[in-house]
Amino acid sequence: MNKKKHLQWLYVLIVVGTLAAGGVSVFALPQKTYSAAENRYLTKLPRITIDGILTGNVQRDLTEAASDQFPLRDQWMQVATTAQYLLYHRQINGVYVGKDGYLFEKVLDSDLSEKNYETNLLYVTAMKETTDADVSVMLLPSPGTVLKEKLPKRAVLYDAQNYEAKGAQICEAESVRFIQTRDELERAARESFDDIYFHTDHHWTTYGAYIGAKTYLGTQHITLPEQGAFDLQTASEDFYGTIYSKVAGLPLARADQFELPQALPEDLLIEADRAPADAVSVDGEKKMPELTGIYDLGKLEMKDKYAVYFGGNYGKLTVRNPQAEGKLLLIKDSFANSMVPYLLGAYGQITMIDLRYYNESVPELVAQGWDEVLFCYEMSNFIKDRNLLKLIR
């Protein structure tokens, strides 16, 4: 056997041996539960049953567990991400790698359902008929639809302005206010030195949230003080958000600065029936966060720093301000969390519900009497949401 064939066989043995060792180690090594790099829980090896095999669940879970539990998974992912970037790929794992360190989720029209969007809006307008409250819908533009100049060449996103026009038409026909924030956000992106969206996360920054709060309160004839009056303090300078988790290890990725408003009303009272839905479980029970005011400062030491607001996402959370009057029911996704600090001074009570986790009767809650009801979601989240049926059930 000549030298060339020896080398070929050596290469085959190395590859096969590496894959075999990795496969064996998936079963032999301790199972990992959580990936900090990806900010998600990992699939563990399933319990093998006859029913599971017949339904295909065991095979599916084994495939996912083999991927999630593979040795040095995080390091292999970083190598793969780096290689794709160096080969000039600017679309990696469903993420557009944009200019100036911006990362954008790739959301196309084909990923969304116009029918589901219209149905969700009709649930809102049906709910409006059951209350005397002032009802508003504020759907926040996805970062890439505002920061178009930061997208890589030939990047394509869904037609957000078409959805905005249709939303305004449906809502206003039924006396529901449809609030546009795009113009103000685009103006701020052009004129301000402050970022309105994070570079590595899908949420808006505290400045973007300020613009959202100012826009909403303006529709209620309430003037919000200048942002400087809220005494912004830098809470972290090394925030890498959920979008970065999909392309962990990306060369030259830029950490975000995370700021928090400190000058908030005094003597705020926070009421929650149970711990956040995404709280850490201790002995099978989810633990209530330890809050400093409205912030869970312990989250700043963790990967998901955005959970600093109230400690995460609750099914229902109420904040009372003894120094103000008026009741606001805020039906929302996580985008609204960072906007709430700017709303606290204007209301005696803000009750937030997240329909993903709230399983009590929404009609009964709405009937309790509110001055205002605000739906505040990121646009594509609202389009895809399947929980708004709870508004009328």
pLDDT digits over 344-377, tens only? 999 999 999 999 999 999 999 999 999 999 999 9
How confident is the model at residue 84, as a pLDDT? 78
What is the model's pTM?
A: 0.83
pLDDT in tens, 22-67: 555 545 556 555 555 545 555 566 667 776 666 666 566 656 655 5
CA pair distance 180, 389, nearest whole angstrom? 24
The per-residue pLDDT for range 156-215, each reduced to its tens digit, is 999 999 999 999 999 999 999 999 999 999 999 999 999 999 999 999 999 999 999 999
Q: What is the pLDDT of residue 43?
A: 59
Mean pLDDT (whole number) for 326-333: 98
- Please say if the pLDDT value at position 381 is more than 60: yes
> Domain limits of the chain?
3-96, 113-391
- Average model confidence (pLDDT) for the chain? 87
What is the tens place of the pLDDT at every residue in 66-103? 555 555 556 556 666 777 777 778 889 899 999 999 99
